[in-house]
Structure formats: C-alpha cells, structure tokens
C-alpha cells in the first residue's frame, strides 16, 4: 500500500533534512571530538533559525565549533570579542561620509554575517547588549534611523565563561529568552582528548573543511520542518512542562509561552535531525534542559539550598506524566 501523497512528501522532506544534517555533523566531527549532543543541538538551532548560548570555560572548542559550522555550510562568519568599551556602532556599523560620492554611506559592522560568534557577551555594557538583542529578535540593525536587514541564515553563537564573573554585566532575562538553547561543550574523555592531540598535531583540520551544504539550502530545509508530525498529546506535553515550572515554588519566574514554543520547535527539529518524521516524548525530554534551563529564575531560598535550575527541571521532567504510545498514535 502506498502512503498518502501528503505523508509521502513529508517523508521526503524529513529525509532531505536528515541527509544534510548527517553530512554537516560528520564534517564538524572532523574537528570537534566528544561533543556529539552539543553539535546536534547547534545544528537544530541553525535549522530553526535560533540562537545559541555556549556557557563553558575557555579551551573547550567553542570558537572552533562555530567556525566548523560556518565552513560546513559555506556561510560568512565573524567573531566579535565583547569588552566593556565595545560600542553599539562597533557591531552594527556606521554611516560615513564618502569623498567619492559626496554622500553618507553605510559601512556594515561585523554583526552582518550568517554566523556571528559573540565571545564573552556578558562583558559588554547593557547598551551594546541591547543592540545585539535587536539583531537577534528582529533580524535587522538600525543605524541613525535607517534599518538594514541581516543575511539569512543569521545565527548568534554567544559565549560566557561561568567561572570569571568579575567585571561582567549579566544578561537580563529578556535577552536570555532570545537564545533558543543554552549548551555546554564540556571536556572530551581521555581517548577523545588524545584524538584532539593527533588531529591537531600537524595543522588544524579546520583548514581542510569544505562546505557540504549551501547556506541557502539550509534555510530552505529549515522551512520544511513543519513536515515533522507532532501529535496533539505531544504538544500538550510541552505546554504542561512549561506550566509546571510556573507553578513550582522553587522558581520566581517560570517558562513563558515563548519558551513553550521554543520547546515545541526544538523537539520537532531534533526529531528531523535524527531522521524521524514524528516527535516522540523522549525528543521533548532530551532538549528540555537546553531550551528551558536558562529561562528559569530560581527563588532566593532555592539558591541558598545550593540547587540549580537544572536540578529542579529534572524533578519536573520526572513528575509530569509522559504521553503513552496509544495516546500519541
């Protein structure tokens, strides 16, 4: 029996996404060792058009990962080192007077790229962080009242060092909410670290990485993510998880409706990257910490007990009933 035409087309869409995702992951894996889950979730963010907050100590490969992704999709890449003296004009660009034309012209800043690495984003002042916020949310930058569109895809990979907090300006909740996922690359195991030594012994393998997917193709594949089927009970499960954080006394601020939407979209993209045309409850649980953890504000009593958002979120994931197979078809 042939599947209905609609489902057959959806299956072809998901197969195309999975094939491209596999090529990108294998390409990035030539450089990044032992961070398969982080690589998959960055890929999910790229497909979804979402931004990534990489929160880890120096030397774990955050910059290398960003460059590897940019090279794998043939995208433009800019790295911005955020410092307290960085001004908004330093990232969005300026209007300057051209001697040749006798007119003011726009000189783009480093924010106008497909993949932007915002290194140590919490070291910039709130004013510069706000300029980044507009770009992340609106996909535009404004210079002296004139709005300029950012290229597609446009994804910010921002980094934070969780150890050195002196002289930093913590990101406000409104800006944290703009990141689709928060990840930690982490250290490789002993064998993985040995592979790193061997791979970089002569020269960086990053230099030999060639594009395996075109950036425009990646945008087109992202537009086909709705082909992934999400049962009503799965959608309801994502909502219940978010609502449970709002009702839990460990949090002063729980997950917003924007967080519910982010969880829904991320689980759908993750299913496609894994080669499935439907979302399972395990997909939602797998991405929940990365999507919700940074959007939750702990109460002072919870912090005094030494508990983290991820600790409480694990309890919620264990307590909220998971849809059974019959209910999700």
**φ, ψ (nearest 5 deg) of residue 68:** -65, -40
- Tens-digit pLDDT profile for residues 94-108: 988 788 888 888 899
What distance in Å separates the CA atoms of residue 299 and residue 310, rounded to the nearest whole number?
Answer: 14
- pLDDT tens digit string along 225-249? 999 999 999 999 999 999 999 999 9
Work out the average pLDDT over 185-209. Answer: 83
pLDDT tens, position by position, 44-60: 999 999 999 998 877 77
Annotated domain spans of the chain: 1-227, 228-329
Q: Which residues contact 309 (CB under 8 A, 6 or more apart)?
A: 251, 293, 294, 296, 298
Q: Domain 228-329: give its CATH superfamily.
A: Magnesium chelatase subunit I, C-Terminal domain (1.10.8.80)
Q: Rounded to whole angstroms, how far apart are CA atoms 46 and 303?
A: 33
Query: How far apart are alpha carbons 117 and 223 in whole angstroms?
Result: 24
Q: Is the pLDDT of residue 316 over 90?
A: yes
Dihedral pair phi/psi, residue 170, rounded to 5°: -55, 140
User: What topology does CATH give the domain 1-227?
Assistant: Rossmann fold (3.40.50)
Phi/psi of residue 182, nearest 5 degrees: -120, 130
Q: Is the pLDDT of residue 216 over 90?
A: yes
Structure token digits, residue 43: 């890929």
Mean pLDDT for 181-191 is 87
pLDDT computed for residue 184 by the predictor: 86
């Amino acid at each position: 029996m042939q599947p209905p035409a609609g489902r057959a087309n959806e299956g072809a869409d998901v197969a195309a996404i999975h094939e491209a995702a596999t090529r990108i992951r294998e390409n990035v894996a030539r450089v990044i060792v032992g961070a398969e889950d982080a690589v998959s979730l960055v890929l999910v963010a790229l497909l979804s058009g979402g931004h990534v907050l990489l929160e880890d100590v120096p030397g774990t490969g955050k910059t290398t990962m960003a460059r590897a992704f940019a090279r794998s999709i043939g995208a433009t890449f800019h790295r911005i080192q955020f410092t307290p003296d960085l001004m908004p004009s330093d990232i969005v660009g300026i209007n300057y007077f051209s001697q040749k034309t006798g007119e003011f012209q726009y000189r783009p800043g480093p924010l106008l790229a497909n993949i932007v690495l915002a290194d140590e984003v919490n070291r910039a002042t709130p004013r510069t962080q706000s300029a980044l916020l507009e770009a992340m949310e609106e996909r535009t930058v404004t210079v002296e009242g004139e709005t300029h569109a950012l290229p597609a895809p446009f994804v910010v990979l921002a980094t934070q060092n969780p150890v050195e907090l002196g002289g930093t300006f913590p990101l406000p909740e409104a800006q944290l909410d703009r990141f689709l996922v928060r990840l930690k690359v982490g250290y490789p195991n002993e064998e993985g670290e040995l592979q790193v030594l061997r791979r970089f012994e002569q020269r960086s393998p990053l230099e030999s990485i060639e594009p395996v997917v075109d950036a425009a193709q990646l945008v087109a594949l992202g537009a086909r993510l709705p082909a992934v089927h999400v049962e009503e009970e799965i959608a309801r499960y994502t909502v219940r998880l978010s609502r449970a954080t709002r009702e839990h006394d460990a949090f002063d601020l729980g997950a917003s409706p924007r967080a519910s939407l982010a969880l829904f979209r991320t689980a759908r993209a993750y299913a496609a990257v894994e080669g499935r045309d439907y979302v399972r409850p395990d997909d939602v649980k797998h991405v929940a910490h990365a999507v919700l953890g940074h959007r939750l504000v702990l109460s002072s009593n919870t912090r005094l007990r030494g508990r983290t958002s991820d600790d409480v979120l694990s309890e919620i994931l264990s307590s909220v009933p998971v849809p059974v197979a019959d209910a999700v078809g």
